[in-house]
Structure 1
Amino acid sequence: MLPGLESSGLPEDAIEVGRILDAWGVKGWVKILPHSASSEALFTSVRWFLQPPEAKHRPGFDAFAGTVILTVSESKTHSDSVVAKFEGIDDRTPAEALRGARIFVPRSAFPKAGKDEYYWVDLLGLNVLNREGVALGCVRDLMATGPHSVLCVEYTDEGQTLERMIPFVAAYVDGVDLPGKTINVDWQPDY
């Protein structure tokens, strides 16, 4: 196992927030692809839980097995990604070995969302209903399009699983009820 890694279990409320893309520089930094347009969850947690990449993404990964914890000594935004430095990893070779590792942080470490702000992970699985009470499907993913996010809503029609896209903006979203697990929208099934 690489230096600086400590074996651990994954917290019950762990959320995958990114993936290590590659080494960054020669002093042990890594470049990270965050799974969200906002990287606040990465910046607020000083201990990240890492798991190996799925085998199809990086066959032969051998930096570690299971779940490990790394302590983040420094992290910052760089261009369209995040770069981070871990305690105990001081040169490029061990940083390269982490390529593909998945990064998790406990949901409890996320900063509190502002009024009418939601973490994508909290929207996944919510049922989408229009103003007439028609069920439009279930949120399976979100997509960042630049100016706004788009709900990717999965539904079934005549035995086929299909997807509809609904812009996640106030013009179409009437409200989000997290406890009720619903999103109410001004959207018709035939849009």
Structure 2
Amino acid sequence: MTVASSVSAPPPERPDDAVEVGRVAGAWGIKGAIKVLPFAADPQALFSTKRWFIEPPATRKPGAPTVLPTLLRIVSAREQGDHVVATAQELDDRDAAEALKGARVLVSRASFPTPEDGEFYWVDLIGCRVVNRAGAELGSVDHLLETGPHCVLVIRPAHDGQGECMVPFVEAYVDAVDTAARRIDVDWDPGWDREPV
């Protein structure tokens, strides 16, 4: 004869390579689906795995559950306009889904599909050193902006007193990208668009 343990299982550990790929925008419908705003125009990272790790929202609505899931086991996910709509085993009604509004969605980087030649994930570009043809280090990629026809690298300056620099991520200005070496070579003069800090 055995006795069931009253100790609940520990929450699943978030992998070391977890990357934030979107935010929960709210509930979708009445059956517990959520809508997620992805951080990339192509949300393939969200479709690459059935395990989404959740970091709770900074603020919660009054009456929201005090314990939120740290892992969602995804049953279905599809694009809906600018969002991804998903159902998960852990969410069975609208209230449970709405409680996650504002939560960060992270997935393992190892689960990302392999990009095509010349394609890069934003997460792999952030933090890369940016060096121009004269060998001057412009800084490191802080984030990227989606401008419609192309993305723009927003570069945090390498030296105090310089403003941030923005370089279009297109072949005309980007000579080479080496994500393993964490370096991007560009044809860009640091004075072209800098604004004083």
**Aligned with residue 102 of structure 1, among 85, 101, 104:** 104
2:25 matches 1:21: yes
Matches of 2:65 and 2:161, distance apart in 1? 40
Q: How far off is 1:47 after superposition? A: 1.1
Helix, strand or coil for the counterpart of 1:160? coil
C-alpha contact (below 8 Å) 2:138/2:158 kept by paired residues: no
Q: Summarize the alignment of residues 104-119 of structure 1 with structure 2, pairs less than 5 Å apart.
A: 104-119=106-121
Give structure 2 stretches of 5+ with no counterpart. Answer: 1-9, 193-197
Query: Deviation of residue 163 (structure 1)?
Result: 0.7
**Structure with greater strand share of residues:** 1
Alignment gaps of 5+ in structure 1: 1-5
Identity of aligned residues (%): 45
1:35-76 residue CA offsets vs partner (Å, 9 max, x unmatched): 111210101111111111234xx47664536x7111111100
Cα distance in 2, alignment partners of residues 8 and 51 from structure 1 = 12
Cα RMSD, aligned residues only: 1.8
TM-score by length of 1: 0.88
**Structure 2 residue 49 is the aligned partner of structure 1 residue 42:** no
Counterpart mapping for 1:63-74 below 5 A: 63-64=66-67, 68-74=70-76
Superposed, 1:53-68 pairs within 5 Å as: 53-55=57-59, 58=60, 62-64=65-67, 68=70
Alignment check: 8 A CA contact 1:63 1:98 kept: no
**How many positions carry a matched residue from both structures?**
182
Correspondence for 1:93 = 95
Per the normalisation by structure 2, the TM-score is 0.86
Matches within 5 A, 1:123-162: 123-156=125-158, 159-160=160-161, 162=163
Report if aligned partners of 1:156, 1:162 keep a CA contact under 8 Å in 2: no
Larger Rg: 2
Identify the structure with bigger relative contact order (alpha carbons < 8 Å, sequence gap 6+): 1
Q: Which amino acid aligns with 1:28?
A: G
